[in-house]
Structure 1
Amino acid sequence: PFTTSVEQNLELLLKIDSELRSVAGVTLAETNMNFRRDEQWFFSSEGANIHQTKYTTGVGYTAYAFAGSEIQKRSYPNSFGGQWQNRGYELVQELKLVENARRVGEEAVALLKAEQCPQGVSTIILDGSQLGLQIHESVGHPIELDRVLGMEANFAGTSFLTLDKLRNLRYGSNLVNIVADARQEHGPGLGTFAFDDEGVPAQCTPIISNGLFTGYLSSRETAHTIGASRSGGTLRAESWNRLPIIRMTNISILPGKKPLRREQLIADTESGIYMETNRSWSIDDKRYNFQFGCEAGWEIKNGKRTRMLKNPSYSGITTEFWNSLDAICSRDEWVLWGTPHCGKGQPQQVMGTGHGAAPARFRNVKVGSAYKGN
C-alpha cells in the first residue's frame, strides 16, 4: 500500500467526503485510511529464528445526520474504522467506496425520520459485520484460557466457560461451527500470522463443533490445563515492550453448506427485523449476558424488507442466543472482518483480530430501541 501517494489517497478520501456531504441533511462526514507495516523477529533459547512481515490496510467512512439532540449515523463498510485486513491497496480498490457513499448518506438522514425499533421478542437477522462483533464478545473473549483460569480479568472480567464445560456444553445449535484459525489459508485476517510470539506455528483450533463447545485459546503455559499436547498458538504481544498474552486470532463462524444469499434468507423469514452495522455493545464480567445496538434496522414482513427502524438493539444470554441460530448464509456471503482495536491486559495492549461471518438468523430474541431521545 505504500506505493500509493499521499495525494492519491487524499483525493479518494475527499471524493468520498464530497459524495457524503452532497446529500441534503448530512451534517458531518468522517473518512479514514490506514496503512501499517510490521517487522517482527523472534529468537528463542530453543534455537528459533523467525522473521515475519505483515502489511495491514484499513479504510472506511461514516455519515452523521443531526436533528436537535438526536444524532444518527451510517458507516461503510463497517463502523469504528471500516474494514481492516492484512492486505495491500487492493482492499481499498475492491470496496467500491465512492459508489456506496451517497446511499450511506441517504440512510443516515432517513434514520432521523424512521420509527423506533419496537420492543418485544422477535426473529432477527444480523448482517455479517454485526455477527462478527457478536462472535468477538460472546465467543472470542470467553474462550481465552487465561480468563478462564483467573489469570486475566481486565476489560470485562473472566469467563463463564469453566473447564468442566469443555466438550460438555451445548454452546449453540447444530449449525454453529466456530474456529480459531491463524493460518494464511483462512484468509488475510488481522489474526493471521505464521508463528505466534512463543514461536508456535499458526494453526486451526475447533472452538464450537456442530454446537458443542470443543476448544479454548491456549499458550504453552496453559495448554496442559485442558489436556492438550501442544499450545494453540495464540500468544501475542502488541510490541517488543509488552509481555505476550493469549489473544484472539481469527475467530470465525463457518458459512452454511447449502447455497443461501442474504436476500434469500430474508425472503425465507415471515416476520422479523434485519439489523446492520454495530453501534454499541455491553456484556457482563462473565461474558454471559449481553446487549448490542446497531446503526440501522429494517422490519421484515412476508419475506420482504419494509420500513426502516432506528436505534435497533437486541439482548440475550450467550448460550441461549447461539442455540437460537437456525440459518446462516453460504460462502459467497462470508466476509473476514477486521477488529483493529481490541484491548486487553494491564498495561493495556491493543491487538487486531479477525472474524469471518455471513448473515445469520436467530429466533425468539429480545429486541428494542437502544435510545428513544428526550
Structure 2
Amino acid sequence: MTFAVLPHLQQLFAGLKSSAEQFSLRHVSETSQYYSVRKNVAEPPQLNADQGAMLTVQLGGVQAYAATADLSLAGLQAALEQAENLARQLARHRLIDLSQQPMSSAHGEFISPNLATPLPPASHWLELLMAESRRVPKHDRLVNWQVGLTFKRVEQIYLTSAGGQIFQAQQFINGDMAVTAYDGHDSQTRSLGGSHLAQQGGAEIIARMGLKGAALRLADEALELVAAPNTPVGPRDLVLLPDQMVLQIHESIGHPLEMDRILGDERNYAGTSFVKAEDFGHLQYGSELLNVTFDPSVPEEIASYGHDDDGTVAEKAYLIQNGKLLRPLGGTLSALRSGLPAVANSRACNWNRAPIDRMANINIEPGDKSLAQMISTMERGILMSNNRSWSIDDARNKFQFGCEWAQLIENGELGKVVKNPNYRGISSSFWRSLKAVGNASTRQVMGTPNCGKGEPNQVIRVGHASPTCVFGGVDVFGGAL
C-alpha cells in the first residue's frame, strides 16, 4: 500500500521535541531492480532497497540538517538534536538571516501515472530482454550487444512543524540497448536513446520507448556505420533529433541557469556559469524561436512532481521566452539570496542529502515545422542523433559534442550515412543560431536518470522533452580514421 508508513511516521513526528523555531522531517523509501542480458546471457539482477529520514531545523536564522536510517523515535530525536547543535554552531557565521523564511505549510499528494497497477514479475522482464537480445542477427562483425531495464519506486513523506504534509509516490523506468560492430580496424556502436530512455509511470512505458523490436535496426545501423565514411569538416546547418537535444538542453541551458552555480556555490566541484545574475530579463539567450520551460506537470516525464523538497508547489514557468532569458533555476533560498523569482526546484537525491538547486523537467516548447519541412529547405546540412561523447567547460559555455549517427543533407534531400560526427560551439551564440523548431510530431519525452552535482555528490533524475531543432552554420567535423 502506498504510504503505508504514514500513520506511524506522523505519530513519531508528533512525539519529537525541539527548541528550534521550525523543523521538518523528510522520509524517503526507495526500491530498485535492474535486469540485463548481454549476448544472450542473463546477467545477475541488481536489487536494492533503502530508506531513511532527513531532519531539518531553522534556528538562530540558519537552517541545518541531520539524517538517519534509525527510524525509531529515539533515532529521529537524536538526529533532530544533532541538527539543532549544528545550527547553533553555524549561527554566528551565517551569511543570510532565514528567521523570517517560513517552512512550508502546504498539503499535497503526487502519484505517478498507473502506479496502482502492479508490474509483472522479474521473469517476465528477463524473457522480454532475452527475446530482444536473440533478435540480433549472427554476423562476424557484430561483436557485442546488451539490453537492459531499470525499475525504481520512490515514496516520500514530508512533514513540517508548520503543519505541512506532502506525500509523493513515483515509479521510474528506463531502458537501454546497444549493439557494437567491429571490422578489424574500427568499432561503431548504435544504441537506443543512449541513457535517455527514461519516463515515469507503469509498464506502458516499455511500449513507448520502442525497446521491443529494436535489435535488428540497431544491428543494421552499427554495420552501416562501420562501413561509412567519416563526417566531413566544415560549417553546416545542423539538425539535432530529440535524443541529442536532451544533452544540448541539459548542458548548455539547464546547468548554466542553476542559481547556485551563478552565485558561486558549485565552483569548486561542478563549476560556475557564463550567465550572470544581471542577465535575467535582458540577455538574448537564443533566437526568437527558443522557448524553454521549467515544467513539472508533464505526467510521464521523470522530473514531474507536485512539490519540491522544501515544500514549494511545482508549477510551469518560462525560463526563456522568444529567446530572452527570464528567470533562473533557483529554489526559495536562492530566490532570497539573489532577489530573483524562484521555481520549485530545490531537490535532494535521497534521504541523506539536503536539497539544492537542481534542474527538473527543462523542456523546449514545440514549433511549427515537420521534420520533412526542415530538411527540404536545407541546401547543405547534416542530421545527427544520439549522443556518445561530450565536453563542456566549467562555465557551461564552450562545448564539443559527438553523436553516434549522422546523415548528410544536400539540396533538401536526406542522404548518405557518415560516422564519427561531432559539432562544437559556444552556448551564448549557439542558441542564437536556432533556425527552426519542430512541431509536436517531432517531440519526444526523455530524461537523464543520473545527473551528478553537489558536495557530497547527488545523482538525480532530470527530464527533458524536446522537438527536433535546426541550427545554422555550425562547426562540424569527423573523428580520426
> Residues 155 and 363 of structure 1: is their aligned pair in 2 closer, same or farther, counting only changes over 3 Å?
farther
User: Which residue, 139, 161, 185 being the options, matches 1:45?
Assistant: 161
Any residues of structure 2 matched to 1:115-130 within 5 Å, and which?
A: 115-130=229-244
Any residues of structure 2 matched to 1:59-138 within 5 Å, and which?
A: 59-76=175-192, 78-80=193-195, 82-138=196-252
Question: Structure 1 CA distance, aligned partners of 2:133 and 2:254?
Answer: 34
Aligned AA (1:347): P
Shift of 1:14: 1.0
Tell whether the 8 Å contact from 2:119 to 2:202 is kept in structure 1 after alignment.
no
What is the aligned partner in structure 1 of residue 332 from structure 2?
Answer: 220
Tell whether the 8 Å contact from 1:287 to 1:318 is kept in structure 2 after alignment.
yes
What is the aligned partner in structure 2 of residue 160 from structure 1?
Answer: 274
Identity %: 36
Question: Structure 2 CA distance, aligned partners of 1:45 and 1:210?
Answer: 42
Q: Deviations over 1:110-143 (max 9, x none)?
A: 1111010111111110001101110000000010
Tell whether the 8 Å contact from 1:251 to 1:355 is kept in structure 2 after alignment.
yes
What is the aligned partner in structure 2 of residue 241 from structure 1?
Answer: 352
Aligned AA (2:333): E
Question: Structure 1 CA distance, aligned partners of 2:213 and 2:268?
Answer: 41
Q: Indicate the structure (1 or 2) with the bigger Cα radius of gyration.
A: 2
Partner SS state of residue 332, structure 2: coil
Shift of 1:170: 0.8
Partner SS state of residue 239, structure 2: strand
What is the aligned partner in structure 1 of residue 127 from structure 2?
Answer: 11
Any residues of structure 2 matched to 1:310-321 within 5 Å, and which?
A: 310-321=419-430
Q: Cα RMSD over matched residues? A: 1.5
Answer yes or no: is 1:308 the counterpart of 2:417. Answer: yes
Partner SS state of residue 214, structure 2: helix
What is the aligned partner in structure 1 of residue 304 from structure 2?
Answer: 192
Aligned AA (1:124): L
Q: Deviations over 1:40-73 (max 9, x none)?
A: 0111222211111001111120111123352211
Aligned AA (2:247): L
Answer yes or no: is 1:264 the counterpart of 2:373. Answer: yes
Tell whether the 8 Å contact from 1:21 to 1:28 is kept in structure 2 after alignment.
no
User: Which residue, 239, 245, 250 being the options, matches 2:361?
Assistant: 250
Answer yes or no: is 1:372 the counterpart of 2:480. Answer: yes
Higher mean C-alpha displacement, 15-24 vs 232-241: 15-24
Shift of 1:303: 1.3
Tell whether the 8 Å contact from 1:180 to 1:205 is kept in structure 2 after alignment.
yes
Aligned AA (1:335): Q
Aligned AA (1:215): R
Question: Structure 2 CA distance, aligned partners of 1:146 and 1:3?
Answer: 38
> Residues 336 and 290 of structure 1: is their aligned pair in 2 closer, same or farther, counting only changes over 3 Å?
same
Q: TM-score, normalised by structure 1?
A: 0.94
Shift of 1:28: 0.5
Partner SS state of residue 181, structure 2: strand
Answer yes or no: is 1:139 the counterpart of 2:250. Answer: no
Tell whether the 8 Å contact from 1:178 to 1:252 is kept in structure 2 after alignment.
yes
Higher relative contact order (CA 8 A, sep 6+): 1
Structure 2 portions without partners, runs of 5+:
1-116
Shift of 1:328: 1.0
Structure 1 portions without partners, runs of 5+:
none
Count of residue correspondences: 365
Answer yes or no: is 1:298 the counterpart of 2:407. Answer: yes
Shift of 1:319: 1.8
